[in-house]
């Protein structure tokens, strides 16, 4: 009956967003008087799996088959459904991402489970089971009742504070049946900016817009991001103009981010961009135009020349160290 | 090549969202509706593939009659015919079951839709439909080419992208830059009027989740302004006040 949490791995280590999902799952387990079980697939670092115990997991089911190392939502969903059946789980928790949604969806269809994606708070369980989710790209929320026997919740970043304590989870080996039909796609090239911090995982993001005036001017922004240990993003026009790669595009039609701190440099704040960042805890806007709409959505603002302000900020951060 | 494109009917990205009826319904007054922006990319690529390979493009919408102008627009952009399943799409599972039913009856080579609807942002309907039909699903797809019965696609993965070759039939959730949005021309608008739009009733399906109440985020406090000459102050405030660095 345990709450089952599907985690994503990055080079064998459980991703930070997935650790949040573990903490969320552990809280749900407390609410329902059961335990939290983690499901991890493919090549994994044993100590990282055991560390999920510090976030509340009781045990880890690890399907170590090499075939599961490469991201494959079809096979992952199949394995997840088998784990749900083995554990007789009624609640499945997955961290929101492209992969998380895909796995959740296919597993839901197998299990005839109600699925709620974009969950922002712990469920309320009193006779009925209700969760709050983000809708209209962060412009509103919806309280959704889940009526099915098995429930799958896809949880947004920052849905709860994931406090790390001590404790380790026991890792058990799990050997699901794998279907050949899930492995028919042949994978060509994989381009991954592995040295960069992932935008969806980052605590701090520094983002640039058209106010940066050209791709050759990005260095001060990169320096500032480096000093902060931040990931870098950009607005849609910047990505459309090829000043920055498409996977940095943040906004309604790009990546939605929810860092603790979002710093926008030379971005006016079109509503489509705001839709991608409105999950951020704090927003800083630096723009030479005092009328930029982004200031209305910001916590802190500086009106000024980006290229004068950024080096000052970088120095101030370095001075802290 | 027989292509099905599923479209959503959603408030424009710039729409101000408010609720009525004791916060149980979206206030539609003054809200402009559009084809979901991601669905628009899927539709544009479908029309290009039809031009290139022959075949047909059918548009499918699960929703009520107020979506008909958007369905006509999709026909004007180049779809051949349309099906509207006459039901309010409030639950992903229910919506996917409707799509899967239509798809199973008509046997499409390719089922395209946006990576997510911009009203509920779930991004799960393509996966549900794929599993219900027992065929692969991929999302978000940024590039799609068809060669015979094989699709070559590029999809976004965390922090990058990968290319895949996989046999049809497939369900794909699409996003830019798979294609450029198309604007209907006058001839398209004229012919769209007479293209078939079949309204069918939903197949019975369980509604596994239901929205109870809507709410708006708490209003943002005032933005604290810092003079450019004292930019360093920002870093101090982020450390001592916001405690985020």
ipTM score for this prediction: 0.90
Whether B221 shows a pLDDT value over 90: the answer reads no
CB contact under 8 A, B128 and A246: no
Say if residue A94 is in the same domain as residue A57: yes
Q: Is residue B243 a part of any domain in this protein?
A: no
Write down which residue in A153, A183, A213 finishes a domain. A183
Taking the CA of residue B41 and the nearest CA in chain A, the distance in Å comes to 11
CB contact under 8 A, A308 and B19: no
Nearest CB neighbour to B37, from listed A193, A253, A303: A253
Answer for the pair B111, B174: CB distance below 8 angstroms, yes or no: no
Q: Is residue A58 a part of any domain in this protein?
A: yes
- Residues 8-27 of chain A with CB under 8 A from chain B are 8, 10
CATH number for the domain spanning A247: value is: 3.40.50.1220
Q: Any CB–CB contact under 8 A between B130 and chain A?
A: yes
User: Mean pLDDT, to the nearest integer, of A18-40?
Assistant: 96
CATH number for the domain spanning B101: value is: 3.40.50.620
Say if residue A311 is in the same domain as residue A248: yes
Nearest to A218 by CA among A187, A192, A244: A244
Instruction: Quickly tell me which residue has 């101030």 as its tokens.
Output: A316
Q: Is residue A198 a part of any domain in this protein?
A: no
Whether A196 shows a pLDDT value over 70: the answer reads no
* B224 beta partners: A300
Say if residue A149 is in the same domain as residue A43: yes
pLDDT tens profile B46-89: 999 999 999 999 999 999 999 999 999 999 999 999 999 999 98
**What confidence score (pLDDT) does residue A189 get?**
84
User: Rounded to whole angstroms, how far apart are CA atoms A36 and A47?
Assistant: 18
Q: Is residue A34 a part of any domain in this protein?
A: yes
Answer for the pair A279, A256: CB distance below 8 angstroms, yes or no: yes
Q: Domain residues for B138?
A: 2-212
Q: Is residue B91 a part of any domain in this protein?
A: yes
Say if residue A212 is in the same domain as residue A157: no
Q: Is residue A315 a part of any domain in this protein?
A: yes
- DSSP strand E in chain A: where? 3-6, 9-10, 13-14, 36-41, 59-63, 91-95, 114-119, 124-126, 128-135, 140-146, 151-155, 170-173, 186-192, 204-208, 231-234, 261-265, 282-287, 300-303
- Residues 173-232 of chain B with CB under 8 A from chain A are 175-177, 206-217, 220-221, 223-228, 231-232
User: Mean pLDDT, to the nearest integer, of A195-209?
Assistant: 86
Neighbour tally for A195: CB within 10 Å: 6
Q: Binning pLDDT at 50, 70 and 90, where does residue A23 land? A: very high
Q: Is residue A235 a part of any domain in this protein?
A: yes
Chain B interface disruption, residue of A74, A101, A254, most B CBs within 10 A: A101
**What confidence score (pLDDT) does residue B18 get?**
93
- Residues 248-307 of chain A with CB under 8 A from chain B are 252-253, 256, 260-261, 271-272, 275, 278, 281-282, 284-285, 295-305
Q: Domain residues for A151?
A: 3-183
Q: Is residue A191 a part of any domain in this protein?
A: no
Pick A311 or A320 by higher pLDDT.
Answer: A311
Answer for the pair A82, A192: CB distance below 8 angstroms, yes or no: no
User: Rounded to whole angstroms, how far apart are CA atoms A269 and A277?
Assistant: 10
Say if residue A246 is in the same domain as residue A161: no
CB contact under 8 A, B216 and A141: yes
Nearest to A251 by CA among B13, B161, B181: B13
Neighbour tally for A245: CB within 10 Å: 15
User: Rounded to whole angstroms, how far apart are CA atoms B9 and B36?
Assistant: 6
The size of the A-B interface in CB pairs under 8 A is: 281
Q: Is residue B171 a part of any domain in this protein?
A: yes
Q: Is residue B245 a part of any domain in this protein?
A: no
Neighbour tally for B178: CB within 10 Å: 24
pLDDT tens profile A94-145: 999 999 999 999 999 999 999 999 999 999 999 899 999 999 988 899 999 9
**What confidence score (pLDDT) does residue B205 get?**
80
Say if residue A143 is in the same domain as residue A217: no
Q: Binning pLDDT at 50, 70 and 90, where does residue A191 land? A: confident
Q: Is residue B139 a part of any domain in this protein?
A: yes
- Residues 191-250 of chain A with CB under 8 A from chain B are 191-194, 196, 198-200, 203-204, 228, 246-247
Say if residue A174 is in the same domain as residue A233: no
Chain centroid offset of residue B78 CA:
17
Say if residue A43 is in the same domain as residue A177: yes
pLDDT tens profile A165-186: 888 999 999 999 999 999 998 8
- Residues 51-70 of chain B with CB under 8 A from chain A are none
**What confidence score (pLDDT) does residue A163 get?**
83
Taking the CA of residue A106 and the nearest CA in chain B, the distance in Å comes to 5
To the nearest 10 degrees (0 to 180), the angle between helices B92-106 and B125-133 is 40
For chain A, the domain total comes to 2
Sign of CA dihedral B155, B160, B163, B164: negative
Q: Is residue A154 a part of any domain in this protein?
A: yes
Say if residue A54 is in the same domain as residue A169: yes
Q: Is residue B74 a part of any domain in this protein?
A: yes
Whether A197 shows a pLDDT value over 80: the answer reads no
User: Rounded to whole angstroms, how far apart are CA atoms A26 and A41?
Assistant: 19
Alpha carbon separation from A59 to A46, A50, B78 (Å, rounded): 12, 8, 53
**What confidence score (pLDDT) does residue A190 get?**
84
Averaged confidence pLDDT in chain A: 93
Say if residue A42 is in the same domain as residue A108: yes
Q: Is residue A194 a part of any domain in this protein?
A: no
Say if residue A148 is in the same domain as residue A39: yes
Alpha carbon separation from B112 to A99, A220, B116, B136 (Å, rounded): 18, 41, 11, 12
Q: Is residue B28 a part of any domain in this protein?
A: yes
Q: Binning pLDDT at 50, 70 and 90, where does residue A194 land? A: low
User: Rounded to whole angstroms, how far apart are CA atoms B14 and B108?
Assistant: 34
Instruction: Quickly tell me which residue has 């380790």 as its tokens.
Output: A168
Kindly identify which residue of chain A lies nearest to residue B17, measuring between CA atoms: A139
Q: Is residue B217 a part of any domain in this protein?
A: no
Say if residue A242 is in the same domain as residue A160: no
pLDDT tens profile B121-149: 999 999 999 999 999 999 999 999 999 99
For chain B, the domain total comes to 1
CATH number for the domain spanning A79: value is: 3.40.50.620
User: Rounded to whole angstroms, how far apart are CA atoms A94 and A102?
Assistant: 10
Q: Indicate the helix (H) or strand (E) that contains B61.
A: strand B56-62
- DSSP strand E in A112-253: where? 114-119, 124-126, 128-135, 140-146, 151-155, 170-173, 186-192, 204-208, 231-234
């Amino acid at each position: 009956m345990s709450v089952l949490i599907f985690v994503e791995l990055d080079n064998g280590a459980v991703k930070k967003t997935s650790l949040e999902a573990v903490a969320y799952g552990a809280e749900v387990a407390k609410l329902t008087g059961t335990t939290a079980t983690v499901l991890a697939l493919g090549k994994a670092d044993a100590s990282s799996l055991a560390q999920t115990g510090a976030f509340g997991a009781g045990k880890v089911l690890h399907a170590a088959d090499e075939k599961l190392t490469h991201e494959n939502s079809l096979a992952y969903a199949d394995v997840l459904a088998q784990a749900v059946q083995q554990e007789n789980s009624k609640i499945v928790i997955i961290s929101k991402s492209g992969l998380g949604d895909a796995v959740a969806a296919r597993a839901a269809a197998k299990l005839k489970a109600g699925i709620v994606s974009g969950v922002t708070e712990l469920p309320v369980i009193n006779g009925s089971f209700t969760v709050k989710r983000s809708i209209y790209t962060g412009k509103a929320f919806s309280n959704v009742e889940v009526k099915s026997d098995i429930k799958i919740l896809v949880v947004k970043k920052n849905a709860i504070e994931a406090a790390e304590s001590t404790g380790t989870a026991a890792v058990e080996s799990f050997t699901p049946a794998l279907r050949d039909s899930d492995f028919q796609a042949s994978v060509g090239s994989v381009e991954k900016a592995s040295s960069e911090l992932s935008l969806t995982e980052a605590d701090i993001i520094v983002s640039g817009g058209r106010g940066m005036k050209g791709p050759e001017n990005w260095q001060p922004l990169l320096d500032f991001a480096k000093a902060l240990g931040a990931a870098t993003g950009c607005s849609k026009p910047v990505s459309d103009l090829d000043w920055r790669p498409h996977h940095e595009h943040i906004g309604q039609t790009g990546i939605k981010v929810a860092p603790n701190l979002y710093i926008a440099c030379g971005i006016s704040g079109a509503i489509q961009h705001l839709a991608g960042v409105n999950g951020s805890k704090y927003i800083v806007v630096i723009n030479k135009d005092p009328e930029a709409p982004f200031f209305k959505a910001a916590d802190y603002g500086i009106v000024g020349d980006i290229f004068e302000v950024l080096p000052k900020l970088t120095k101030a951060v370095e001075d802290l160290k | 090549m027989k292509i099905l494109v599923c479209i959503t009917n959603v408030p424009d990205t710039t729409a101000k969202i408010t609720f009525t009826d004791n916060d149980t319904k979206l206030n539609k007054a003054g809200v402009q509706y559009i084809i979901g922006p991601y669905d628009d990319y899927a539709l544009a690529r479908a029309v290009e593939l039809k031009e290139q390979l022959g075949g047909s493009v059918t548009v499918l919408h699960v929703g009520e009659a107020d979506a008909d102008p958007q369905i006509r627009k999709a026909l004007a952009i180049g779809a051949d015919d349309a099906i509207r399943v006459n039901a309010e799409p409030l639950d992903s599972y229910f919506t996917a079951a409707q799509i899967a039913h239509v798809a199973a009856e008509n046997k499409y080579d390719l089922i395209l839709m946006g990576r997510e609807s911009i009203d509920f942002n779930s991004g799960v309907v393509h996966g549900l439909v794929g599993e219900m039909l027992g065929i692969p699903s991929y999302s978000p797809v940024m590039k799609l080419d068809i060669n015979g019965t094989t699709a070559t696609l590029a999809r976004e993965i965390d922090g990058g992208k990968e290319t895949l070759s996989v046999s049809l039939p497939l369900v794909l959730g699409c996003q830019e830059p798979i294609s450029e949005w198309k604007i209907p021309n006058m001839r398209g608008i004229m012919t769209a009027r007479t293209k078939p739009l079949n309204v069918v009733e939903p197949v019975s399906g369980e509604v596994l989740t239901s929205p109870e109440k809507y709410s708006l985020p708490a209003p943002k406090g005032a933005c604290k302004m810092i003079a450019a000459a004292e930019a360093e102050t920002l870093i101090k405030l982020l450390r001592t006040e916001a405690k985020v660095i």
